[in-house]
Structure 1
Amino acid sequence: MSHRKCLIIGLVMIAATAAILLAMGRIPICECGYVLFWTPADDLAGSSQHIADWYTLSHVIHGFLFYWLLWLVFRRTSVCERALGAIFIEAAWEIAENSPWIIDRYREATIAAAYTGDSVLNSVFDILWMLAGFLLAWRLPVWVTVLTGVVFELLALWVIRDNLTLNVLMLVYPVEAIKVWQGG
């Protein structure tokens, strides 16, 4: 598959994800009416509404993980085709994550009691951040990618008392002690 065709398919997949999220009733941008590149940790209402926030680190790590998984399973396909697979997985997650079932699960099982889901802008950028992580994993030595993932996890844990590992754990198997600790 040519890089141009791959790029077009990837853009169509991302646009389709945005259209599905809009059809689900997701807001296009933050209800605040403006767009920020970065949302700081103390802006809880802006989290998952703008271009990047502390959870962006998790999406970059998704890219690392998807690169390795798709490399293991589909070694004979091009990087471009594997990137489309990664976009598909991340887009499916963004749609699922913004479903009432997952939003309610976050509210009941985690400290995100006020979580209302992502804006469409944030979901689109979550896919792009994942793609950045995928491309980094493709180009960087494995040890650099692993170290970066560990640093991202520890940094998010330190700043917001949450990260990809805890997010998955609390979504799948909530631990009350962790929830209390995250609540400060």
Structure 2
Amino acid sequence: MSTADAGFRVRHQSFWLVACLAVLVAQVVAEYLMGRVPICACGYVKLWEGGVNTSGNSQHLSDWYTPSHIIHGFLFYGLGHLVLRHKPLAARLLLALVIESGWELLENSPLIIDRYRTATIALDYYGDSIVNSAMDTAFMCLGFFFASRVPVAVTVAIAIFFEIFTGYVIRDNLTLNVLMLVWPVEAIKVWQGGA
């Protein structure tokens, strides 16, 4: 490869990475303009919030829903591999970031917050803090890069483990979250409530 070709590749990759950063910055700015709180109203930021039905859930750097966002990264890597197979990894990451950031904005809109509060057990859910939402996106990126480096079988096994483990521990996971948001099942809602 010539020096000119190598320089072009570096500039090309840099373009995609700057675009990825711009999407994350746009997500944060949009959430700020939507009136989302930058950090937990408690006034501090924790590395991990272990309570599910607490005011700190979805407010700190990570929580029981972090595995769901890692799985988003697995899924978005697969999607990017299917639809942008001949594009650089950074271009596929940009697609994943656009989808994840779009979801984070929708998830923190009154429409979805109200849906969570009426259709699921998340009665005290008022949306994510900006730092939690940005970290959700960062964890998606972590899942994306992990999926790009390991065999598909390992990625699938980890996703299944995350789903079973969080389903067992907190009675919620990505699958149940999507199901209850789209097509609420009263029996699942009762089970999730601990009955």
Q: Distance in 1 between matches of 2:17 and 2:57?
A: 29
Show the counterpart of 1:146.
Answer: 156
**Where does structure 2 lack aligned partners over 5 or more consecutive residues?**
1-10
Q: Which runs of 4+ in 1 moved over 2 A?
A: 1-7
Farther-moved stretch of structure 1 (72-81 vs 121-130): 72-81
Post-superposition offset of 1:12: 1.4
Counting only pairs closer than 5 Å after superposition, residues 1-150 of structure 1 correspond to structure 2 as 2-41=12-51, 44-150=54-160
Cα distance in 1 for partners of 2:15, 2:103 equals: 24
CA–CA distance in 1 between the matches of 2:102 and 2:118?
Answer: 22
TM normalised by structure 2 equals 0.92
Deviation of residue 157 (structure 1)?
0.6
Identity of aligned residues (%): 54
* Map of 1:171 onto structure 2: 181
Specify the code of the residue in structure 2 equivalent to 1:12. A
Q: TM-score, length-normalised on structure 1?
A: 0.97
- Whether the 8 Å contact between 1:41 and 1:160 is mirrored in structure 2 is no
1:116-142 Cα offsets, whole Å, 9 max, x none, are 000000110000000000000000100
Higher alpha-carbon Rg:
2
Match of 1:181 in 2: 191
Give the drift of 1:42: 5.3
Assess if the C-alpha contact under 8 Å between 2:53 and 2:124 holds in 1: no
CA drift of 1:3 comes to 2.9
The alpha-carbon deviation at position 11 of structure 1 amounts to 1.3
Is there any run of 5+ residues in structure 1 with no aligned partner, and where? none
Tell me the amino acid that sits aligned with residue 164 of structure 1.
L
Letter of the structure 2 residue corresponding to residue 4 of structure 1 = S
The CA deviation string for residues 147-178 of structure 1, in whole angstroms up to 9 with x for no partner, is 00000001111111000000000000000000
Q: 1:57-81 deviations in whole A, cap 9, x for unaligned?
A: 0000000000001111111111110
